[in-house]
Chains A and B, each alone.
Chain A
């Protein structure tokens, strides 16, 4: 599904990703853990196609095509979805309108007819119930004045609605209570299937207890320095990152 090979990325002349490689197969869930500032959001943004990052070398292949050649919206059309660490507020843009424009943009890109308004509203209400997003938030401006938890639930709602093939969740669990955490985990688990893949960026083993990733990676200083199975998450929770970083330096 996704192959990242020796990816180097800099921001304003500063090297952030320093030769990152990662292979994510269809059907797999990968967790990426790592200290603050190690480049997790940078990786997420580069995969989603955000401006302001210079890819200086390396390749990213998604479903057999060069992902980096595609515009942001084209990546979304091909099934890439990023749940953002800091979801942006869109004052004046109605949440329901936003969700419909987005949903129909993806359908149009797949050559499908747009869903009519009544059918769409029914669908969104169902999905909003699933992620326990109060339906009054559908009528408000996107994320405007939402609490931290509501913003994250709105991200998961979008993921549930758009059913991406590659979902990247950038610290969606940060700052959430245990109930909200389960909602995020449920969102991921419901989407899990043989033809989809997910990358879950997190600080905490807590979320992974519910998700049970297939592979856990540690990202430090712009590189993946260790990969393992679920037990690596436990180890990190107990020991922190220190032992790994020391090992690297030595």
Chain B
């Protein structure tokens, strides 16, 4: 291993990471199960993995030093079981519910009442009850050849897999969903990830979702916190969509603005599978979402829309790698961002269309509004195309609110701050106009509205100083 000296120094300075590494060595499992192999491999890799820093291509615009200086506790005692989190399920849907409180997953539904063959359970339980099924997928989807495109092609100079290894070497809990062939899960699955106390904890979940041929489901993720804390959530999802399966995925990250958050979602899609994802990235002091997709069959469709919000000193980062290796697949990825008051949005969207992926359709757009001056947007769309018969496009923009529009609203009696937040909200609302789950759309808009109004009040206060 040829690791530059300055990185080694950095590694040894990270207290929580060092304690974590030591704890892996000490961990005594009850006897190795199938996942221990994944865990041990990741643990080994973690030991020598360089820490992400600015000179790596994939970390150029995302300051991460602060995360390594946090006084994180690496062991978290689970919260009491009798806590009531029902207030967090605001959508009012009839759903299968999970709560993952401080990393510990609980399925709230009746396991005996699920459609035949469906598995909805915690990772912890799955490890004990369905180890064979789980081990067929866990750690396999994300390490699928090509699925991890960003890393495979670039090596450690461009990126670091530290957070992936960190996550896989723990594999404590999360959700495991397996829908067998042909089963359409009627009710959506709602998962609440909640950080409870004010302790600075490292919280990791690993989640695996498998839809066999022609299976269908809707997943709603909600990431929230009860209190302010310097905690770091490091989540990983592995999603495998087999032939003609269909998944709708709603994601809302609205953690407290003191929290640190990272989530990777690795997805493989076989023939004629269909994925639709809506991502609302609103909360956290620092947030990084990594979306990776890899087509393993033809005529598959992936359709992603995402909103990034940076309101008060936040860093909001999305990295996306979509890889087309096979012909006739379609991927749509459209993002919008709002940034104000010393916040920063990073968008790094990569689509690779290899030589054999003829008839690929791939579109990428990322449009941002800067609501105040002291903000930063780093938008880097990248389309690498090696096939010659494709329909692909990409575009980004960074702009400001149109003063004509502001005047129009003010001339109708709406005060300036409110006019600006209505227009900002409109800018992102446009993207999710056709969202299927109206409750989610409305909830997301209400949330964005609250944050926009709150943030502009702060600005007015500063302005009058």
Enumerate chain A interface residues (CB-CB to B < 8 A).
Answer: 48-51, 71-73, 75-77, 81-82, 84, 87-88, 90-94, 97-98, 101-102, 105-106, 109, 141, 158, 162
Contact = CB atoms under 8 A, between A and B. Distances in A.
Contacts of A71: 410, 416
Contacts of A50: 407, 411
A162 B413 CA distance: 10
Contacts of B430: 91-92, 141
Contact of B416 (A48, A73, A82, A158): A73
A50 to B, nearest CB: 5
B282 interface: no
7 contacts: A50-B411, A51-B407, A72-B407, A81-B411, A101-B422, A102-B413, A106-B413
B426 A90 contact: yes
A76 B410 contact: yes
A98 B413 contact: no
B442 to A, nearest CB: 12
A49 B427 CA distance: 25
B433 interface: yes
A48 B425 CA distance: 25
B93 to A, nearest CB: 23
Contacts of B208: none
Contacts of B408: 84, 87-88, 90
A68 to B, nearest CB: 15
Contact of B413 (A51, A77, A92, A97): A77
A86 to B, nearest CB: 9
A82 B412 CA distance: 9
Given A92-B429, A98-B422, A73 B415 contact: yes
A84 B405 CA distance: 12
A105 B405 contact: no
Instruction: Indicate the size class of the contact surface on chain B.
Output: 20 to 34
A110 to B, nearest CB: 10
A237 B410 CA distance: 36
B409 interface: yes
Contacts of A88: 402, 404-405, 407-408
Given A50-B407, A51-B403, A88-B404, A93 B414 contact: no
Given A91-B426, A91-B427, A105 B412 contact: yes
B411 A82 contact: yes
B304 interface: no
Contacts of B416: 71, 73
- Max count, chain B CB within 10 A of own CB: residue among A73, A82, A90, A92: A92
B411 A72 contact: yes
Contacts of A73: 410-411, 413-416, 419
Given A92-B428, A92-B430, A98 B409 contact: yes
A75 B410 CA distance: 9
A92 B409 contact: no
Given A88-B404, A88-B405, A93 B412 contact: no
Given A77-B413, A90-B426, A93-B422, 13 more contacts: A87-B408, A88-B404, A88-B407, A92-B426, A92-B433, A97-B422, A98-B412, A101-B418, A102-B413, A105-B415, A158-B412, A162-B412, A162-B413
Nearest to B336: A92
A250 B428 CA distance: 58
Nearest to A77: B413
A92 B425 contact: yes
Contact of A49 (B403, B411, B414, B418): B411
Nearest to A102: B412
Nearest to B424: A92
Contacts of A94: 429
A76 B433 contact: no
A103 to B, nearest CB: 8
B428 A102 contact: no
B423 interface: yes
B74 to A, nearest CB: 43
Contacts of B414: 73, 101-102, 105
Interface string B376-405: 000000000000000000000000001111
A88 B404 CA distance: 7
Contacts of B422: 93, 97-98, 101
Given A93-B422, A93-B423, A76 B412 contact: yes
B433 A90 contact: no
A162 B408 CA distance: 14
Contacts of B403: 51
- Max count, chain B CB within 10 A of own CB: residue among A71, A73, A94, A141: A73
Contacts of B410: 49, 71-73, 76
Closest A-B pairs by Cβ, 9 of them: A92-B426, A92-B430, A76-B413, A93-B426, A102-B412, A105-B413, A72-B410, A92-B429, A88-B408
Contacts of A106: 413
B407 to A, nearest CB: 5
A72 B429 CA distance: 26
B224 to A, nearest CB: 26
B336 to A, nearest CB: 10
A53 B428 CA distance: 31
Nearest to B412: A102
- Max count, chain B CB within 10 A of own CB: residue among A72, A82, A84, A106: A72
A98 B425 CA distance: 12
A84 B403 CA distance: 15
Contacts of B433: 92
A106 B410 CA distance: 11
Contacts of B412: 76, 98, 101-102, 105, 158, 162
A146 to B, nearest CB: 14
A46 to B, nearest CB: 12
B338 to A, nearest CB: 12
